[in-house]
Amino acid sequence: MRMLFFVLLFLAFAPPILAADEGGRKILYWYDPMVPGQKFDKSGKSPYMDMDLVPFYEDETGSGNNTIQIDSSYRQALGVKTAPAQMREFGKSIHAFGNIVPSTRKEYTVAVRTAGWVVDLKTDAVGDTVKKGDLLFTFYSPDLMTAQSDYLIGSRTVGNSEQRLHLYGMDDKSIAELKAKGRFMEQTPFYASADGTVTALNVRKGAYIEQGGVILSLQDFSKVWVQAHVPVKDLQFISAGTPAVVTVDETGENLNAVTDYIYPITDIESRKGMVRLVVDNVDGKLKTGSIVNVMFETDSQKRLAVPAEAILYGKDGGHVIEDIGKGAFQPVKVETGITSHGLTEIISGLKDGQSIVTSGQFMIDAESNLRGGMNNMEADHAK
């Protein structure tokens, strides 16, 4: 009985008997990487998960760094994937919400410059579309007929008679008709000066109009504006000509746009400024009033980058897990820059071509930290 007691006592305090793998490396113990704090004295299946226990080697202690060796079965279980750090061209992405509005540069107002009556109204409803040169309406005006007579007889007492017709609102097409007929027109035609859609109609057929009265408004929707509301802190990165992608919420369609103007005022409550973009709308699919998402791409240039998900952040900043080959991995501290399009810029810490873990890095990092902590404790104990 006393002999059994001393045997048990010896086994409890005796140094561990080191096993060895086929390569001669000494194994201190086995463990489940998902529960690394639990040690086992022999290989086999983990009681926690359906995976083999992993050996912890003697040469992995006291190394002074957090480099770890992971066998192929464990890498497969973790789903470890890698990608190289590469030079990629991208810039800072700025997201904003906006809405589509008509371009005032493509809005045309048709007004008469002398009193008279609308005789024939060809465009008689809001929403009518016209082409440049289409007849809009005819107008009866005594003053306008007098000006036409002066033009036809070439009266020198009224100065430049053709210029006078332009001042009364006649365009080149209607003046050419006057020349061809050789007599004044009781009903002077007014033609569309551009393609467009009637967005306002202020008269009806037969209406009397005072001098300066607005008959109708035309809007060309082949180009529209997007008014984007951008945080003030990001306005510094945007300038006229900055490209952007506009996404229409209702359809999910992506459209290329160009920054046209940055308004000089900001909203004091939302702390946002307004940026105007120009978008082509030849097919007329974009409707004013629609809500859109805008993504500005600024300062695009070649940058060393890794997938954004590869970066791990801690109290000391960012780091990645580098695959140094032959199943070995190590954490590498990095200084990061902008993140955009799923990429994060690497300012320092990596070189082009270094292999970085992009999937499974969290577990590798946890194990590296654990082993590093154990190494430090053993080093302190040795002192």
Distances in whole angstroms, Cα of residue 326 to Cα of each of 32, 131, 321: 21, 72, 14
Distances in whole angstroms, Cα of residue 367 to Cα of each of 1, 34, 56, 66, 371: 43, 9, 11, 9, 6
Distance CA 191, CA 170 (A): 9
pLDDT tens, 60-92? 554 445 677 777 777 787 788 999 999 998 888
Fold of 93-103+222-300: Elongation Factor Tu (Ef-tu); domain 3 (2.40.30)
**Quick one: DSSP state of residue 157?**
G
Nearest to 128 by CA among 196, 74, 192: 196
Which CATH code is given to the segment(s) 77-89+302-369? Answer: 2.40.420.20
- Of 31 and 43, the one with more pLDDT: 43
Q: Give the bridge partners for 305, in sequence order.
A: 86, 345
Assign 380 a pLDDT band (cuts: 50, 70, 90).
very low
pLDDT tens, 326-372? 888 889 999 998 888 889 999 999 999 999 999 988 888 776 665 55
Q: Give the bridge partners for 92, in sequence order.
A: 298
pLDDT of residue 8: 40
- Confirm whether 93-103+222-300 and 110-218 share one CATH topology: no
pLDDT of residue 33: 65
Quote helix, strand, coil % in the chain, to nearest 5: 20, 45, 35
For the question of whether the overall pTM of this predicted structure is more than 0.75, the answer is no
Nearest to 110 by CA among 25, 20, 182, 202: 202
Answer whether CATH 3.30.460.10 is correct for domain 110-218: no
pLDDT of residue 360: 85
What are the structural domain ranges in the chain? Answer: 2-64, 77-89+302-369, 93-103+222-300, 110-218
pLDDT tens, 101-121? 999 999 999 999 999 999 999
Distance CA 362, CA 260 (A): 44
